[in-house]
Amino acid sequence: MDSRCMRKVATGATVGGSLGGAIGAMYGTYEAFRYQIPGLYKIRYIGQTTVSSAAIFGLFLGAGSFLQCGRSSGGY
């Protein structure tokens, strides 16, 4: 795998992580207030939702970039 392809995969994972983190923070905040999670548990819940959403989005966007990179460079 060349450096250009690695850069595309890293960029895809970074963008996915950023987007997932933003969506996870909004969704986590909504859910924390909806289910009336008390006190500092609310911050913990929002943090867990943000990190897990960022990881999932980053993984999938990175994998998608990897597949696109292999397809465009003549692989398969």
CB 50 within 8 A of CB 28: yes
Q: Which among 6, 12, 1, 3 has a CA at the least distance from the CA of 65?
A: 12
Give the CB-side neighbour count of residue 22, counting CA atoms within 13 A: 5
What is the per-residue pLDDT for 54? 98
What is the per-residue pLDDT for 69? 87
What does the block give as tokens for 43? Answer: 């911050």
C-alpha to C-alpha distance for 52 and 37, rounded to whole angstroms = 18
C-alpha to C-alpha distance for 38 and 28, rounded to whole angstroms = 14
Q: What is the pTM of this model?
A: 0.85
Q: What is the pLDDT of residues 58-69, one digit of tens each?
A: 999 999 999 998
